[in-house]
Amino acid sequence: MKRTEIRLADGRELIYFDERDDAVRDQPDRRELPPPPPASQLRLDPLTDEWVAVAVHRQTRTFLPPADQCPLCPSTAERLSEIPAPDYAVAVFENRFPALSGRVAEEPAEITPFTPVRPGQGRCEVVCFTDDHNSAFAALPPSRVRTVLDALADRTTVLSEYDGVEQVFCFENRGVEIGVTLHHPHGQIYAYPFLPPRTRSLLAAARRHAERTGGRNLYADVLAAEREAGTRVVAANEHWTAYVPAAARWPFEVHIAPHRPVPDIPALSDDERDAFGPLYLDLLRRFDGLFDMPMPYIAAWHQAPVRIDRELGHLHLQLFSIRRAADKLKYLAGSESAMGVFINDIAPERAAALLRTP
């Protein structure tokens, strides 16, 4: 893989990850752009002890443009985009409308004595999986999935070294039902300056389990139990298992986990990285085949924190959809949105059986 860094017209970084060593990436960004926005504002909710990002500049971000105006397609002589090159394999660049960034203009003023405020310092990046606007992750060859995985490993390593970053989160949103604002196949990376609530909950449970069992890894034990039971296993190979969690929150939710406990994507071996693509692509195609239509989904990589409790983590990908039937979506209504108590309409065992069906 060839890695090439350039700067866009407004100073943001772009990195090409090419599968050809002879790829030339010296095309400049010929656009005239305003300076990137300053960092957002982080406000701590004193009632939940959770940070909320207030990023008002994101209200003006690009929203579902037509294909001939897509900012993630390669640039042409007639139209300039975020990608100056005429083609690419995988490209990663700093988001033009970031929720978090390193551009701190000034310290925010106090709101109340009970609501701490700080700059939204961190990093948000866009990961373009292919230069083909009409493709999808499920249509990529395994070799491209490996390139994407290597790019995510690269960015996780680099962003983990940024001052103040506590966790690196890689994810893909797919489908307008999920809330995507660009149709081009892409994902995102958030480098958080705090531990998100989901991670804090996972770590607390893992810590309690380790204390009860003399240091055992909770996720590794759960994975072993699911593999032994087999009821909710959808697919597996030598290095990975894909299974529906016994207490799945979403109508169709699958965890894809390496058999070897590792903290993050950079820690995966070459064999583990190669084995991931075929299994994941098969799973995505099973999702699309459930209702014979493109399945909206979120694919979320859960990695260990950067600085603390890394021994408690176990890398895994959480893939889930809000679609519960061909003509029905799962909405986060009163119980889920207000109280955080999920109600699943489909038994996890039934979901696993449907996903196993050829």
Which residues contribute to the annotated binding site for Zn(2+)?
70, 73, 133, 184
Q: Which helix (H) or strand (E) holds 169?
A: strand 167-174
Closest CA to 87 of 132, 117, 36: 132
Name residue 333's beta-bridge partners: none
Phi/psi for 312 (5° steps) reads -85, -15
Strand segments (E) across 246-315: 252-258, 297-302
Using DSSP, state whether 340 is helix, strand or coil. Answer: coil
Q: How far is CA 110 from CA 47, 99, 122, 253, in A?
A: 17, 20, 20, 41
Half-sphere exposure of 62 (CA within 13 A, CB side): 15
Q: Which helix (H) or strand (E) holds 220?
A: helix 218-229
Placement of tokens 């996720």 in the chain: 219
Question: In terms of C-beta distances under 8 Å and separation of at least 24 residues, what long-range contacts does 44-47 make, across chains too?
Answer: 44/115, 44/116, 44/117, 45/115, 46/114, 46/115
Q: Report, as residue numbers or ranges, the catalytic residues.
A: 186
- The separation between the first and the last C-alpha atoms of the chain, rounded to the nearest angstrom, is 34
Task: Give 65-134 as a DSSP string.
Answer: --GGG-TTSBP-SS---SB-SS--SEEEEE-SS-SSBS---SPPPP-BTTB-EEEEBSEEEEEE--S-TT
- CB-based contact 92:128 (threshold 8 Å): yes
Phi/psi for 166 (5° steps) reads -105, -25
Half-sphere exposure of 322 (CA within 13 A, CB side): 15
Closest CA to 55 of 121, 128, 126, 127: 121
Q: Is the dihedral of CA 95, 101, 106, 107 positive or negative?
A: positive
